[in-house]
Amino acid sequence: MRKFSSLLFLLFLSWTASAQQLNSPNGALQLNFELKDGVPFYDLKYKGIPVILPSKLGLKLKNHPDFTEGFVTSTAEQSDFDETWEPVWGEEKAIRNHYKEMAVTLHQDAAHEHRTLMIRFRLFDDGLGFRYEFPSQQGLAHFIVSDEKTQFAMTGDHTAFWIPGDYDTQEYDYVESKLSEIRGLMDAAITGNISQTSFSPTGVQTSLMLKTADGLYINLHEAALINYATMHLNLDDEKMIFESWLTPNPNGDKVYLQTPSVSPWRTIIVSDDAREILASRITYNLNEPNKIEDTSWIRPMKYIGVWWEMITGKSTWAYTDDFPAVELGVTDFSKASPNGKHGATTENVKRHIDFAAAHGFDGVLVEGWNEGWEDWFGNAKDYVFDFVTPYPDFDLAGVRDYARSKGVELIMHHETSSSVRNYERHMDQAYQFMKDNGYNAVKSGYVGTILPLGDNHYSQWQVNHYQYALEKAADYQIMINAHEAVRPTGIARTYPNLIANESARGTEYQAFGGSKPNHVTVLPFTRLIGGPMDYTPGIFEMDISKLNPDNNSWVNSTIANQLALYVTMYSPLQMAADLPEHYEKFMDAFQFIKDVALDWDESRYLEAEPGYYLTIARKAKGTNDWYLGNVNGNEGRASQLTFDFLDSNKTYVATLYEDQKDAHYRNNPQAYEIKKGTVTHKTKLSQYSAPGGGFAISIREANAEEIKGLKKLK
Ligand code: NOJ
Ligand code: CA
């Protein structure tokens, strides 16, 4: 029925004109499209306020006339769409995908060989997505995009939360500055990384979070990055215009395509309420529906790992110090002397399995179990890992059977060292090895310079590699958590086996010198717009020199803040990253990590300001339990909470994990307090968070027995 009515609508609203207007379903957003002297322009307004000033659209092609000018006619077809779909995992059980669409077909003049380009706009109540479409046509079969010239003209010198544009890494701290200050702050913002390639003093990455002087929040990103180069944004800081800047292939070309094909969606999320940016689902909605029929094997996972001990330098991935260089299949590890610091020993892994089983974790990640870590990056080494050969002190079958007997899953680790061709050569064998040994999830990694040399982490070729690994993993019923891969763009809607990515500065940097205390108040507005992050929270010992006397790093966070991250950093894959012995010292706080859910029926964004604070309440899937998390920036602050999201006829038991009054991320991070009390939908709470702090609350529907003797939570 719906199909029929939308067809009628379509017929009525198809016309030829140089200017077109489209309103979002509730009218809050208005898009204008116009051809001016043969050049396509768009602009966007929110409640009548300009968000994007008239901005050019188009692409430059190599060896063909450009798709930037010479357009003589345009036809627009409008339609509307409204569906509700259920994600396999997510922040809510149902997502509404409701938009007005306008598909503009543009024809070029004879000088431009009468080519046809389409631009499809989808206007939601919380944002705009648009993409280029290249229909099948005479004279344009294969073509090369030498530059994409999509503009985003700003209305002023906005505040931006940005990281340097880079073809190889997103592992940067965010800078908050005016747009006009980016150029002056760029050098200092480019902190060291094993692999990094910046390209412009005003180039920044997406997702980019902006705030205007009159309180509009604007987010620029992309959706459905498939078979295309990753988009950065380059600012003309005189005119305040961002322009798309694609990651090049090794020869400098940006994208190789053939007709018919489409670009990724360029997205602009906008609201006068920062919470709406977090609640927006346009990035998922602009992706194709789920392509995996049987999803029964895709499950959220809470895990621990043999990991933090290597990241902090307490132990090593490598088994031996005997060899300055190793050659797989030739180097004989059975004769080597162990260095005494290897993390992935049978004994240590079994200890972790015991801990996971005792505390109800689903999985244990083990890194450094396979040969090759003695010499794994920095030498453009092609055959660096084979992904199937364990070190002599890791009894793979024994550990596998032990984990199985305890009801714990092992999480595989495939560090590729960015030797991508080597990984593709081994992939079938590596995935089959996982299936044979009962591994259902893999953490993959792309540290170092991409091989073949000359390529970058975010080029079209690399984007296609990550997609190839994801789709092949789906064939094997394997879930993927890719580190250092391109940042997500909502592809997990289509391939929900992409349960997480890193693709930003994760907790590991707290052991590499530290991250800004407010980092986690920015990430949900930037990196998480495209999909979940394997942030690896849960650090309780902030003084890293206690793990490794040679490492003076400090984790810039309080314990209460670490607990809150399980709620504020949405991911169906959550790690408790600290060492078991540290959790054993703080079992009462650890209880929150054990209890907190991974999958949700509903999420409420209670308060939010990028860079400063955010508080989220989520209802655990299939239950009446709620979990709240607040993370706070550099200054102490009180949240004014109301619990009106709770059922009005019920009393709940709440356990609050809060910063003590004198807690501070730098000098008193372990000062927390735990309070238990009752709450109802009428409860109001003024709740303090320390600098770099936060709070976490678990809320369970209580029975009469439990409530006895409990006071109201204050
Ligand atoms: C970088 C990843 O982010 C980290 O989690 C991993 O331990 C190392 N690479 C080694 O693979
Ligand atoms: Ca990393």
The model's pLDDT over 575-627, given as tens digits with 9 standing for 90+, comes to: 999 999 999 999 999 999 999 999 999 999 999 999 999 999 999 999 999 99
For a ligand 1 pocket test, name from 194, 415, 534 the mutation site with the most ligand atoms within 8 angstroms of its C-beta: 415
Q: For residue 439, give the amino acid letter.
A: Y
For a ligand 1 pocket test, name from 447, 487, 501 the mutation site with the most ligand atoms within 8 angstroms of its C-beta: 447
CA distance 430 to 213: 52
Distance 366 CA to ligand 2 centre (A): 16
Task: Provide the pLDDT for residue 74.
Answer: 86
Q: Which atom of ligand 1 is nearest to the CA of 506?
A: 3
Looking at all shown ligands, the one closest to residue 442's CA atom is: 1
DSSP for 560-584 reads HHHHHHHHHS--SEEE--S-HHHHH
Task: Provide the pLDDT for residue 16.
Answer: 58
Share of the chain above pLDDT 90, in %: 96
> Which ranges constitute the DSSP H helices of 39-81?
none
Mean pLDDT of 416-442: 98
Residue nearest atom 6 in ligand 1 by C-alpha distance: 445
Give the distance between the most distant pair of CA atoms in the chain. 84
pLDDT digit string (tens) for 2-12? 333 333 334 33
243 lines ligand 1 (CB under 6 A): no
Closest CA to 595 of 570, 620, 565: 620
Residue nearest atom 11 in ligand 1 by C-alpha distance: 415
194 lines ligand 1 (CB under 6 A): no
Distance 15 CA to ligand 1 centre (A): 54
CA distance 280 to 122: 14
Task: Provide the pLDDT for residue 3.
Answer: 31
User: Residue 452 in contact with residue 422, Cβ under 8 Å?
Assistant: no
Q: Which atom of ligand 1 is nearest to the CA of 483?
A: 3
pLDDT digit string (tens) for 661-688? 999 999 999 999 999 999 999 999 999 9
Distance 504 CA to ligand 2 centre (A): 7
User: Residue 282 in contact with residue 223, Cβ under 8 Å?
Assistant: yes
Which among 101, 171, 508, 658 is annotated as catalytic? 508
447 lines ligand 1 (CB under 6 A): yes
Distance 435 CA to ligand 1 centre (A): 23
User: Residue 499 in contact with residue 442, Cβ under 8 Å?
Assistant: no
**Where residue 91 falls among pLDDT bands split at 50, 70, 90?**
very high
Mean pLDDT of 84-93: 98
Q: Which atom of ligand 1 is nearest to the CA of 502?
A: 3
Give the strand order in the sheet containing 694-701: 600-609, 613-620, 626-632, 694-701, 652-659, 672-679
Q: Which atom of ligand 1 is nearest to the CA of 484?
A: 3
Distances (CA, A) of 671 to 536, 660, 665: 21, 5, 10
176 lines ligand 1 (CB under 6 A): no
For a ligand 1 pocket test, name from 311, 483, 539 the mutation site with the most ligand atoms within 8 angstroms of its C-beta: 483
508 lines ligand 1 (CB under 6 A): yes
Q: Which residues of 372-404 are buried (b: 16+ CB within 10 A; e: fewer)?
A: bbbbbbeeebeebbbbbebbbbbbbeebeebbe
415 lines ligand 1 (CB under 6 A): yes
CA distance 430 to 434: 6
The contacts found for 434-439 with CB under 8 angstroms, 24 or more apart, are 434/476, 434/478, 435/476, 435/477, 435/478, 437/396, 437/397, 437/400, 437/410, 438/400, 438/403, 438/404, 438/409, 438/410, 439/409, 439/410, 439/411, 439/412, 439/478
Residue nearest atom 10 in ligand 1 by C-alpha distance: 415
Flag whether pLDDT at 15 surpasses 60: no
pLDDT digit string (tens) for 202-252? 999 999 999 999 999 999 999 999 999 999 999 999 999 999 999 999 999
Task: Provide the pLDDT for residue 331.
Answer: 97
Looking at all shown ligands, the one closest to residue 172's CA atom is: 2
Distance 483 CA to ligand 1 centre (A): 7
Task: Provide the pLDDT for residue 17.
Answer: 62
Q: Which atom of ligand 1 is nearest to the CA of 413?
A: 11
Q: Which atom of ligand 1 is nearest to the CA of 317?
A: 10
**Ion ligand 2: residues, CB < 5 A:** 483
Count CA within 13 A, CB hemisphere, residue 14: 9
CA distance 365 to 4: 51
Residue with the bigger pLDDT between 17 and 121: it is: 121
Distance 481 CA to ligand 1 centre (A): 11
Distance 506 CA to ligand 2 centre (A): 7
Closest CA to 270 of 44, 607, 519: 44
Distance 200 CA to ligand 1 centre (A): 27
Q: Which atom of ligand 1 is nearest to the CA of 415?
A: 11
445 lines ligand 1 (CB under 6 A): yes
Distance 535 CA to ligand 2 centre (A): 10
Share of the chain above pLDDT 70, in %: 98
483 lines ligand 1 (CB under 6 A): yes
Task: Provide the pLDDT for residue 266.
Answer: 99
pLDDT digit string (tens) for 452-471? 999 999 999 999 999 999 99
Pairing of strands 600-609, 613-620: antiparallel
What tokens appear for 526 in the block? 């930037």
Based on the residue annotation, tell me whether 176 is a catalytic residue of this protein: no
> Which letter does DSSP use for residue 456 in this model?
-
Distance 46 CA to ligand 1 centre (A): 41
SS (H, E, C) 387-434: CCCECCCCCHHHHHHHHHHCCCEEEEEEECCCEHHHHHHHHHHHHHHH
Looking at all shown ligands, the one closest to residue 307's CA atom is: 1
pLDDT digit string (tens) for 150-206? 999 999 999 999 999 999 999 999 999 999 999 999 999 999 999 999 999 999 999
pLDDT digit string (tens) for 391-404? 999 999 999 999 99
Distance 414 CA to ligand 1 centre (A): 10
What tokens appear for 75 in the block? 């036809």
Q: Which atom of ligand 1 is nearest to the CA of 445?
A: 11
What integer best gives the mean pLDDT of the chain?
96
Distances (CA, A) of 702 to 42, 226, 575, 656, 705: 54, 47, 28, 15, 8
Domains located in the chain, CATH noted: 3-285 (2.70.98.10), 301-596 (3.20.20.70)
Residue nearest atom 3 in ligand 1 by C-alpha distance: 483
Looking at all shown ligands, the one closest to residue 415's CA atom is: 1
Residue written as tokens 């890293």?
544
Distance 445 CA to ligand 1 centre (A): 6
Looking at all shown ligands, the one closest to residue 343's CA atom is: 1
502 lines ligand 1 (CB under 6 A): yes
For a ligand 1 pocket test, name from 385, 508, 512, 515 the mutation site with the most ligand atoms within 8 angstroms of its C-beta: 508
